[in-house]
Amino acid sequence: GEDVEQSLFLSVREGDSSVINCTYTDSSSTYLYWYKQEPGAGLQLLTYIFSNMDMKQDQRLTVLLNKKDKHLSLRIADTQTGDSAIYFCAEKGNSGAGSYQLTFGKGTKLSVIP
């Protein structure tokens, strides 16, 4: 079945850039997402990218997609302490059945050092 892999931990200094990486196996992915989970809360959609795009920028966030290598990354510029959270990569396949099912990675815990 589909699989999504991401590193479990990342630590950066406040003001630096953070890059969180993700690889996936489903070549028919249509959408890829980044969710953010703050302590004690549920997951919230942070940003997404459609599979026919290479890059998407939204303020401090830059999403890069290398479809050939099935590699997705999230770059957070000028990382702040409020960015400390768990970041989940997720992908949506192109299957008719379960069309709203997403496959999630295990999450990357980002720690921002003041």
Partner 1 sequence: DAGVIQSPRHEVTEMGQEVTLRCKPISGHDYLFWYRQTMMRGLELLIYFNNNVPIDDSGMPEDRFSAKMPNASFSTLKIQPSEPRDSAVYFCASSGPGTGMDEQYFGPGTRLTVT
Task: List contacts with partner 1 (CB under 8 A).
Answer: 30-31, 33, 35, 41-45, 48, 50, 88, 92, 97-102, 104-107
Q: How far is the CB of 60 from partner 1 (least distance, A)?
A: 20
Is the CB of 34 or the CB of 73 nearer to partner 1?
34
Q: How far is the CB of 52 from partner 1 (least distance, A)?
A: 13
Q: How far is the CB of 78 from partner 1 (least distance, A)?
A: 26
Is the CB of 59 or the CB of 114 nearer to partner 1?
59
Is the CB of 17 or the CB of 27 nearer to partner 1?
27
**Residues near 112 by beta carbon (within 8 Å), at least 6 away in sequence:** 11, 12, 13, 14, 18, 79, 80, 81, 83, 84
From the list 58, 53, 57, the residue with the least C-alpha distance to 29 is: 53
Q: How far is the CB of 7 from partner 1 (least distance, A)?
A: 12
Contact 90, 32 (CB under 8 A): yes
Task: Report the C-alpha gap between 28 and 93 in whole angstroms.
Answer: 6
Radius of gyration of the chain (CA): 14
Is the CB of 36 or the CB of 70 nearer to partner 1?
36
Q: Which amino acid is at 36?
A: K
